[in-house]
Amino acid sequence: METGLRVRELQSLTVGSFDFESCTVTLEKKFTKNRKGAVQFLKRARAVQLKSFFAGRDAADKPFNMPSNYRTGKMIHADLKDADIPIVDDADRKVDFHGLRHTLATELDRSGATLKERADIMRHSLRGNLTLGTYTHLQRYDIRQAIENLTYYPWPEGEKGIGVTDAA
């Protein structure tokens, strides 16, 4: 939810896709929707947690046990059921995997990220707006700050004892 990665993008990742020094994850162009490679920032605290989570694993290993595309909804619905969270909210919106991108866009807006920063993080085109798309420029630190301003979602305590706080 903090990266906006799509199912196919998550499925394509390896442990080696993550750079824990720069707190990024790199996507190969053949797996992205727009067929352009991308580097997404990770929250620093999340990068620390993932580094610990991946410790001892080979760079070629798949980092997550991702189901096939058609089963991601079932995975999320099972998790929601286990957490006693409704699948459909009061506004009659049904939770699905792509909804995580909607949540990221909303959280970025709430964090104060500019439209240009949100579009860059979501990997959306701004071709229709010349001023914003062409004449407004972002620096890496703008994007880094927008990611760091996202709400902190705790890492679930697990078998490995992972539970790094946001202060990490």
> What 8-state DSSP symbol labels residue 121?
H
Q: What is the pLDDT of residue 165?
A: 47
CA dist 150 and 96 (Å) reads 21
pLDDT exceeds 70 at position 135: no
Neighbours of 13 (CB within 10 A): 20
Reply yes or no on whether the pLDDT at 104 is more than 80.
yes
Kindly list the domain boundaries of the chain, sorted by start residue: 7-148
For the cut 80, the answer to whether the pLDDT of residue 95 exceeds it is yes
74 phi-psi bin (left φ>0, alpha ψ -120 to 50, beta other) = alpha
pLDDT at 58: 98
Look at residue 168 and tell me whether its pLDDT is greater than 50. no
Which pLDDT does position 24 carry in this prediction? 98
Query: How many CB atoms lie under 10 A from the CB of residue 151?
Result: 11
Looking at per-residue pLDDT, the higher value among 68 and 154 belongs to 154
What is the per-residue pLDDT across 122-132, written as a single tens digit (0 to 9) for each? 998 877 775 56
Specify the pLDDT at position 136: 65
Q: How high is the pLDDT of residue 93?
A: 84
Amino acid (one-letter) located at 3? T
- At 19-71, the pLDDT tens digits run 999 999 999 999 999 899 999 999 999 999 999 999 999 999 999 988 887 78
pLDDT digits 0-9 by tens, 3-16: 999 999 999 999 99
pTM reported for the whole predicted model: 0.77
